[in-house]
Amino acid sequence: MAKTASYAAQTATSPLAPFSIERRDPTPHDVQIEILFCGVCHSDLHTARGEWPGVVFPVVPGHEIVGRVIRVGSEVDRFKPGDLAAVGCPGRFVQAVHVV
Amino acid sequence: MGATSGKKVGIVGLGGLGHMGVKFAHAFGCHTVVFTTSPGKTEDAKRLGADEVVISRNADEMARHAKSFDFILNTVAASHDLDAFTSLLRTDATMCLVGAPSTPHPSPGVWNLIMRRCSIAGSAIGGLPETQEMLQFCAEHRIVSDVEVIPIQGINEAYERMLRGDVRYRFVIDMASLAD
């Protein structure tokens, strides 16, 4: 497990504020990236304010992610450290595409 | 879906999704028409690649485009009258919804759909092959988003500005600011 800095909404009515989350360890099929930029989608706002069903608080919104690969699992053959990568959506499982 | 060279394509809403829709439709060679409620966005829409801009609150302007579109991409994330746009579709054409309002659109009238076999469809985000193909197309055609980069500490103000439509056209968080 790795502690990761983030901004989270604690409830549907609280603003985003610094928060620490625990990420699971990467598996052999995962690509680990350092997130460089994250676009802000209206769906993030709907999520942060609990405006649609299924939101579990606290929540860290943001899915339009691009970053640089810092580590790849032993089964990964399409990415290597240093590559730019974007995360497919939804990104619960790492789904990465090459940024050209 | 009909958004190919020479076809008439409408983009409803000039926000984060809409401004990219304009760039793609223009790059596909479509006759691209932007629908906006903001007259102040007209010049920007043309700069982004629109051939025409229609103020959707102007009924006369809307009527001039009746039954003429091959495809309409509706990016508006607020509840609104869909009939205003299905009435602009030609026979067998589709309006695809990609905005997700938190309250439903009013139920659309079926007459426009029945008489011209029109469709209202929805779409989320493509899978990895489509996303990779999209990025490749963007690289080849030099398509990039117009963004305003913010530090993460500014996210709450950015949300408020999004609600006011005050962003051209996508906020992007520089994650290096997370360490500040």
* C-alpha span between B66 and B89 (Å, rounded): 7
DSSP string, A22-47: EEPPP-TT-EEEEEEEEE--HHHHHH
- Record: fold of B8-122: Rossmann fold (3.40.50)
pLDDT band at B157 (very low <50, low <70, confident <90, very high): very high
> What domains are defined for chain A?
2-98 (3.90.180.10)
**B68-115: per-residue pLDDT in tens?**
999 999 999 899 999 999 999 999 999 999 998 888 999 999 999 999
ipTM for the predicted complex comes to 0.90
Q: Where are the domains of chain B?
A: 8-122, 146-180
* A48 touches A59 (CB < 8 A): yes
Per-residue confidence (pLDDT) for residue A5, from 0 to 100: 93
Per-residue confidence (pLDDT) for residue A1, from 0 to 100: 75
Per-residue confidence (pLDDT) for residue B131, from 0 to 100: 86
Mutation for B interface: A33, A36, A42, most B CBs within 10 A? A42
Per-residue confidence (pLDDT) for residue A99, from 0 to 100: 60
**A9-64: per-residue pLDDT in tens?**
999 999 999 999 998 888 999 889 999 999 999 889 999 999 888 899 999 999 89
Model-level pTM?
A: 0.86
- Give me the percent of chain B exceeding a pLDDT of 90: 85
The answer to whether B100 contacts A52, with C-beta atoms less than 8 Å apart, is yes
The answer to whether A42 contacts B99, with C-beta atoms less than 8 Å apart, is yes
